[in-house]
Structure 1
């Protein structure tokens, strides 16, 4: 499923640029994706669109997120830490954080792989038509061992 999401991100600059599900399914099949993988990705994207409809970009400065035991178990410590890092860096506002957590919880398997969570973060930005800043894109795409140290 994550390969389909990455393909959509790279191919369509905004979600509204994507064709309808039927045409998109045909295009993705032609590219070589399996039908079950495509359907899982499209269903996940429908959930993302629903979460985006209730997106509100403001949250109290004093608000604090407490993760439930089920969320910690499902996300894993590395993913919770990464979400906290993005939030403390000021690039992931509370409402977007909640969209990331919601969509991560919709993925089966625990704990979540950090690389998969990074794709979810990227897709949340994409779904809202927002471009993450360059340093965050570097964090999302470049493996730590491949980074150049200045």
Structure 2
């Protein structure tokens, strides 16, 4: 349900270039009218606030100087949420330079921030798109990911 709200918000306000300066009460009312539950709305809005705060974190984190040969080891909780297909997709996107180590970690953080028991590759693609949109300097990566998501293309990105 939380993913549904996030996707609704992303498509309505971000992807459509709608007015981004929306009053939070107005937004909550709209989401309630759309059929979402208040508790889930609050969770989704908090999730988005956390995403915004990740963008403002210290640029000189250990990730920004990580070796190109470093390999990401997933925790047990991350492996439960992100199955082998999702982890493989993250690695693939990092190898083709759609994700950097920094944006990969932001994606994993936001995936783990979701309160859901069911998580699939399509959900991961949406989270990646939201992260790339929110981090300046990732316009090309965002465009590639957007094309991937909206065309449902199978295989390798061009």
TM-score by length of 2: 0.75
Of 124, 129, 137, the residue aligned with 2:146 is: 137
| Number of matched pairs | 145
Please list every run of 5 or more consecutive structure 1 residues that lacks an aligned counterpart in the other structure: none
Of 50, 55, 76, the residue aligned with 1:52 is: 55
**Which position in structure 2 is the counterpart of 1:123?**
130
What is the 5 A alignment of 1:54-133?
54=57, 56=59, 58-60=64-66, 61-110=68-117, 112-129=119-136, 130-131=138-139, 132-133=141-142
The alpha-carbon distance between structure 1 residues 18 and 76, as it changes in their structure 2 partners (threshold 3 A), is farther
TM-score by length of 1: 0.78
Q: Deviations over 1:100-139 (max 9, x none)?
A: 0011112234563111111111111122254335442232
Q: Deviations over 1:47-94 (max 9, x none)?
A: 212222216394433443222232112211111111111111101111
- Deviation of residue 97 (structure 1)? 0.5
Q: Is 2:32 aligned against 1:23?
A: no
C-alpha RMSD of the superposition: 2.7
Q: Which one has more relative contact order, counting CA pairs under 8 Å at least 6 apart?
A: 1
